[in-house]
Amino acid sequence: MSAAASGYAQTGDPPQPRRPGHGGTDPGPRNVLRERQNPDLLVPPATDHGTLPNLRFSFSDAHVRLEEGGWTRQVTVRELGISTPIAGVNMRLNAGGVRELHWHKAAEWAYMLYGTARITAVNADGHNFIDDVGVGDLWYFPSGIPHSIQGLGPDGCEFLLVFDDGTFDEDNTFLISDWFKHVPSAVLSKNFGVPASALAHVPGPEQLYMFPAPIPGALAADTIAGATAVTKRLSYRMLAQEPIRTASGTVRIVDSKIFPASTTIAAALVEINPGGMRELHWHPNTDEWQYYIEGEGRMGVFAASGQARTFDYRAGDVGYVPFAMGHYVENTGTTPLRFLEMFKSSYYADVSLDQWIALTPPELVQAHLHLDQQTLNAMRKEKRPIVPA
Q: Could you confirm whether 341 is annotated as catalytic?
A: yes
Secondary structure letter of residue 49 according to DSSP:
B
At closest approach, how far in Å is the CB of 200 from Mn ion? Answer: 28
Minimal CA–CA distance to 317: which of 88, 91, 137, 84? 88
* Residue of minimal Cβ distance to Mn ion: 108
The answer to whether the CB of 290 falls within 8 A of the CB of 342 is yes
Number of residues in contact with Mn ion under rule CB under 5 A: 2
Identity (one letter) of the amino acid at 45? P
Please state the φ and ψ torsions of residue 47, each to the nearest 5 degrees: -80, -15
**Closer of 108 and 330 to Mn ion (Cβ):** 108
Instruction: Kindly name the residue from 35, 100, 296, 341 that is annotated as catalytic.
Output: 341
Secondary structure letter of residue 263 according to DSSP:
S
**Closer of 43 and 145 to Mn ion (Cβ):** 145
At closest approach, how far in Å is the CB of 354 from Mn ion? Answer: 14
Site track for Mn ion across 317-346, x = CB under 5 A: ------------------------------
At closest approach, how far in Å is the CB of 341 from Mn ion? Answer: 5
At closest approach, how far in Å is the CB of 158 from Mn ion? Answer: 15
**Closer of 192 and 323 to Mn ion (Cβ):** 323
Own/partner contacts of 13-21, CB < 8 Å, gap of 24 or more, are 15/39, 15/42, 15/43, 16/42, 16/43, 17/42, 17/43, 18/43, 19/43, 19/46
Minimal CA–CA distance to 64: which of 80, 75, 78, 50? 75
Which residues, in sequence order, are CB contacts of 328 under 8 Å at separation 6+?
277, 278, 279, 280, 281, 299, 300
CA terminus-to-terminus distance, the chain: 13
**Closer of 43 and 269 to Mn ion (Cβ):** 269
* DSSP reduced 3-state for 66: strand
Touching Mn ion, residues 277-296 (CB under 5 A) = 288
In what helix (H) or strand (E) does residue 33 lie, and over which residues does it extend?
A: helix 32-37
Site track for Mn ion across 238-277, x = CB under 5 A: ----------------------------------------
**Closer of 288 and 296 to Mn ion (Cβ):** 288
Q: Single out the segment in contact with Mn ion by CB under 5 A; choices: 72-80, 103-111, 113-121, 299-307.
A: 103-111
**Closer of 58 and 74 to Mn ion (Cβ):** 74
For residue 170, state whether it binds Mn ion (rule: CB under 5 A). Answer: no
At closest approach, how far in Å is the CB of 71 from Mn ion? Answer: 15
At closest approach, how far in Å is the CB of 277 from Mn ion? Answer: 12
Which residues, in sequence order, are CB contacts of 194 under 8 Å at separation 6+?
none
Nearest-angstrom CA–CA distance, 333 and 295: 6
Nearest-angstrom CA–CA distance, 107 and 159: 16
Minimal CA–CA distance to 342: which of 324, 318, 325? 318
The answer to whether the CB of 39 falls within 8 A of the CB of 9 is yes
* Identified binder of Mn ion from the candidate list 108, 165, 287, 330, rule CB under 5 A: 108
At closest approach, how far in Å is the CB of 110 from Mn ion? Answer: 9
The answer to whether the CB of 112 falls within 8 A of the CB of 134 is yes
Q: Single out the segment in contact with Mn ion by CB under 5 A; choices: 41-49, 79-87, 106-114, 203-211.
A: 106-114
**Closer of 143 and 185 to Mn ion (Cβ):** 143
**Closer of 42 and 278 to Mn ion (Cβ):** 278
At closest approach, how far in Å is the CB of 146 from Mn ion? Answer: 9
Minimal CA–CA distance to 209: which of 111, 89, 106, 68? 68
Size of the chain in residues: 389
Give residues in contact with Mn ion (CB under 5 A).
108, 288
**Catalytic site positions:** 341
